[in-house]
Structure 1
C-alpha cells in the first residue's frame, strides 16, 4: 500500500492523547509516592484499598500508562509498533480494572462516580488502538 500523508487532525489528536497518557504516568507516580501518612488521611475504606494493592495490579497500572505513552510516541514517529503497544496497554488497563471492580469493588468503596473515569480510560484506550490500526492501514505508519 502506498503511503498517504496523515489527515490534518492526526498529529493534534495524538499530541492530546500523549498529554492524556502523561497525566496517567503522573497519577501512577503519585500513587507510588503515597506514604502511610498520606494514606492514613483517606477515608477508612480507601485506606484499605490503597494499603493492600497487590503487585500485579501495580504492574498492570505501570504497563497501562507507560504503554499508552509509548504508543503515542510510536504514532508520532510513524512507527507501526503503535498498535501492539496499545494492545498491551489496553490489556493492562483491563487487568487493573478487574482489581478495581472485582477484587476491591470500587463502586461500593467510592460510589457510582468511580465508574466514569475507568470507562473513559477504556474508551480512550480502545480509540487509540483503533486509530493505530487505521493509521497502519492508511499507510501513515511504517
Structure 2
C-alpha cells in the first residue's frame, strides 16, 4: 500500500533514468542495421570490438536496455516490479560485457568509462527502486 507521495527528486531521477534508457533503446534499434560502411567509420579499436562481439553480448544488450526501460516506466508508475527489472538490466550488462573483460587488450579508457557510466546508472536505478519500496512510494 502506498502511504506517501514521492518527493520531487524521485520524479526527476526517474525521468532521467527513462530518458537514458530510451537512448539505449535507440542504440539497440540501430545496432543490427549498422552497415559495414558505418562500422568502418569507427575507431580501429571499436571496429575490432564490433567484429569480435559474440551473440550473447548482443542478447545481453537487448536484456539490459529493454529491462532498464521497462524498469524506468515501472518506477514512474510506482510499481515494485521496477527493482527486479533493474536487476535484470544489471544481468544483461554483465552478459553484454563479460567477454570484453576476458581479454584486457580490448579495454580502452573510452570503453571502461562508458561501461562505468552504464553500470552507475543501473546502480542508481536499483537504489531508487529500493528507496521507493522502503519509503512506501511504490506498490
Give the TM-score normalised by structure 2: 0.89
Contact persistence 1:75–1:132 (CA under 8 A): yes
Unaligned runs of 5+ in 2: none
Distance across 1 between alignment mates of 2:31 and 2:122: 21
Contact persistence 2:17–2:72 (CA under 8 A): yes
Deviation at 1:50, TM superposition (A): 1.4
1:55 maps onto 2:55 in alignment? yes
Distance across 2 between alignment mates of 1:2 and 1:43: 50
- Map 1:39-54; keep pairs closer than 5 Å: 39-54=39-54
1:7 maps onto 2:4 in alignment? no
Contact persistence 2:45–2:106 (CA under 8 A): no
Q: What does the per-residue CA deviation read over 1:44-66, in whole Å, with 9 as the maximum and x for residues that have no partner?
A: 44333212321111000011011
Structure 1 vs Structure 2 CA RMSD = 1.9
Distance across 2 between alignment mates of 1:47 and 1:113: 14
Distance across 2 between alignment mates of 1:105 and 1:33: 27
Question: Paired residue for 1:25?
Answer: 25
1:130 maps onto 2:123 in alignment? no
Give the TM-score normalised by structure 1: 0.87
Distance across 2 between alignment mates of 1:82 and 1:26: 21
Aligned in 2, Cα 1:36/1:75: closer, same or farther, shift over 3 Å?
same
Contact persistence 2:10–2:128 (CA under 8 A): no
Contact persistence 2:2–2:137 (CA under 8 A): no
Distance across 1 between alignment mates of 2:41 and 2:109: 22
Aligned in 2, Cα 1:12/1:89: closer, same or farther, shift over 3 Å?
same
